[in-house]
């Protein structure tokens, strides 16, 4: 039996174990929350307890790369991963957040000229980097906004996005069609700002900040989780998951 799990801190709220159980109801695989205070400790548990693969969530998505020997194109570009799989003597990395954003937006924007859409991704952590790359690869003009524009600059330049600091957001809102919000808290730069008519995709499904915002077309982070889980589970098991059961668990 192959063992899989999730590392991060905190992770007690995660829906990932229930989602995985729904994906593979036959019980041929297991999926655990590997609670640890540090990435190093989590990786010790990963190796000591016979896990084949893990999902990685905040705050370990960047630090996990220290343990990776074979990154794929996306994780090499981003410098962070949310999947690590043990294969032989190697540890391979992938980032299904990229697909979680890309597939969700392709579905919501079906029938529209995606290349004409102007996107703003707020937050340049692991989730934000994945979202920005997804938007760029979809052909959108993309701005990456971060507390420190200087920290976002190298990555933004690498993928062909613009970069700004959070306090510059109000100056760019008027021309923004899509906001992908990857932070877990509400920032002052969006307080009392006009967001009407915008498509708003929020990563945080456990404690969303903008789900009741008036005038926006809101996409729940549940879709992000669902659409990133499908490729993640396929990479883990080599088998198709039960997507219908997964949607029921997520309430989609």
Catalytic positions: 61
What residues contact 165, with CB distance under 8 A and at least 6 apart?
145, 146, 147, 148, 149
Element (H, E) at 247: helix 243-250
3-state helix, strand, coil in the chain (%, to 5): 40, 20, 35
Would you say the C-alpha torsion 29, 17, 33, 42 has a positive or negative sign?
positive
CB atoms within 10 A of CB 185: 8
Query: Partners of 199 in the beta sheet?
Result: 178, 217
Distance CA 88, CA 31 (A): 21
**Nearest one of 212, 240, 209, 204 to 15, comparing CA atoms:** 204
The radius of gyration of the chain from alpha carbons, rounded to an integer in Å, stands at: 18
Phi and psi at residue 250, to the nearest 5°: -80, -10
Residue with tokens 């959070």: 166
């Amino acid at each position: 039996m192959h063992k899989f799990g999730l590392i991060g801190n905190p992770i007690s709220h995660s829906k990932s174990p229930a989602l995985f159980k729904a994906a593979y109801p036959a019980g041929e695989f297991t999926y655990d929350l590997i609670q640890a205070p540090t990435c190093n400790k989590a990786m010790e548990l990963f190796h000591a307890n016979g896990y084949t693969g893990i999902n990685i969530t905040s705050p370990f998505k960047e630090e996990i790369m220290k343990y990776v020997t074979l990154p794929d194109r996306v994780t090499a570009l981003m410098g962070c991963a949310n999947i690590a799989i043990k294969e032989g003597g190697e540890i391979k990395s992938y980032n299904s957040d990229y697909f979680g954003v890309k597939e969700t937006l392709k579905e919501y924007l079906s029938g529209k000229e995606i290349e004409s859409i102007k996107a703003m991704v707020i937050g340049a952590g692991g989730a934000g980097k994945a979202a920005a790359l997804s938007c760029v690869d979809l052909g959108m003009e993309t701005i990456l906004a971060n507390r420190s524009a200087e920290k976002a600059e190298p990555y933004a330049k690498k993928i062909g996005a613009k970069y700004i600091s959070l306090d510059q957001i109000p100056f760019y809102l008027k021309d923004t069609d899509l906001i992908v919000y990857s932070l877990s808290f509400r920032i002052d730069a969006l307080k009392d700002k006009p967001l009407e008519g915008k498509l708003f995709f929020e990563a945080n499904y456990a404690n969303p900040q903008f789900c009741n915002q008036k005038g926006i077309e809101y996409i729940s982070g549940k879709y992000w989780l669902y659409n990133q889980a499908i490729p993640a589970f396929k990479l883990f098991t080599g088998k198709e998951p039960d997507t219908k059961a997964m949607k029921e668990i997520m309430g989609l």
